[in-house]
Amino acid sequence: MIRHMLLPAVLLLGAGAAMAQDAPPPGGKEVSIPFISHGNVRTFESTRSGDGVYIQNQRHDWYFARFYSRCNALPFAIRVGFKSFGGGGTLERGDTVIAEHERCRISSIVRSGPPPKKAKKPRRRH
C-alpha cells in the first residue's frame, strides 16, 4: 500500500526554504520515522547541496535523511511530500521525498541533532 502525503508550507512554518549548512551528521544506526502519514512532521530543513534533509517530528526529535543523489528542488520547495511503501506510514530507507516535481529516494535515515546554524553575515558599517 502506498501512502502519499503533502505537507503545506504553512504547517511547516516556512522551514522548507531555509537551508542548513552542508555538514550532515556522521553515519549512525539506521532508523525509521514512524507515523509520517499522520502529520508527524513538525518541520524540515534541507542541506544547501540538496544531498539530504533534516526532519523534525512532533516530539521534537531530529532525523537526517540522506538521498541516493542530489535533490535539486528541495532547498527551494514550498511543499514536500513523503511517499512510504510501508503499510503503517513509516518513513524508511528506500522511501521517497517529493519536492516540486522531483522524486528524491532516501538512502539512509539516522537520528541527529538539529541542523547546523547558518553563519551570520557581518553587519555593514556606515
**Domain map of the chain by residue range?**
3-20+27-112
Whether the pLDDT of residue 94 is over 90: the answer is yes
CA dist 77 and 92 (Å) reads 21
Could you tell me which residues are beta bridge partners of residue 91? 33
* CB hemisphere CA count around 39 (13 angstroms): 4
Confidence tier at 11 by pLDDT (50, 70, 90) = very low
The dihedral of CA 57, 27, 71, 23: what is its sign? positive
| Residue of 4 and 43 predicted with greater confidence | 43
| Residue of 34 and 31 predicted with greater confidence | 31
Confidence tier at 24 by pLDDT (50, 70, 90) = low
Mean pLDDT to the nearest integer, 87-111: 90
Question: Which residue has cell 511530500?
Answer: 81
pTM: 0.73
DSSP state for residue 9 in the 8-state scheme: T
Mean pLDDT to the nearest integer, 32-58: 87
| Residue 31: predicted pLDDT | 92
DSSP state for residue 46 in the 8-state scheme: E
